Amino acid sequence: MADRFCDQCGAAASPAARYCRQCGVACDTPLWRSLTRQTTLMQQWRGLSHTLTRRDVRKLLGEPARVEPANLLESPRVETWRYEYERVDGSAALESRNRPRILGVVQFSQDEGRVLMWTEPDWEAMHSSDNQEAPSNTEQRL
């Protein structure tokens, strides 16, 4: 996988390349490295797309904590899956119901059976121990 591309022709360029192999133009574009730490859980959520079915989402994220069926009187009919995560740090001091939790939501179109939208868990709250139930911060819509 290329870390950068030629500004002139768009061909993939290796990080060490000084010139493009395709067109010969000098590679002046600076390299950027991400400082965001992606956890396995974050990578799973980032794998969501609008083409996924319920089965695909179960394979990717596992079983939801709660499933809310679609209201048959509403249009579009939307089925909501809620995922809950709690921090497990080996501390027996906090009972399970008192541990901070973060929430993620996936909604499916009842008619098409595919992902309609999702709201990722609040990743920053995952690292904070003072939030009881933090709202999500990233929402994807069709």
Nearest to 105 by CA among 59, 64, 60, 56: 64
* 76: Cβ contacts below 8 Å, ≥ 6 apart: 109, 110, 111, 116
Residues in the chain, total: 142
Per-residue pLDDT tens listing for the chain (142 residues): 456 778 778 888 777 777 888 888 887 756 566 666 668 888 999 999 999 999 999 999 999 999 999 888 877 899 999 999 887 766 555 565 666 788 999 999 988 999 999 999 988 877 664 444 444 455 555 4
Q: Cα(124)–Cα(138) distance, rounded to whole angstroms?
A: 11
- What are the residue boundaries of the structural domains of the chain, listed by start? 1-33, 40-141
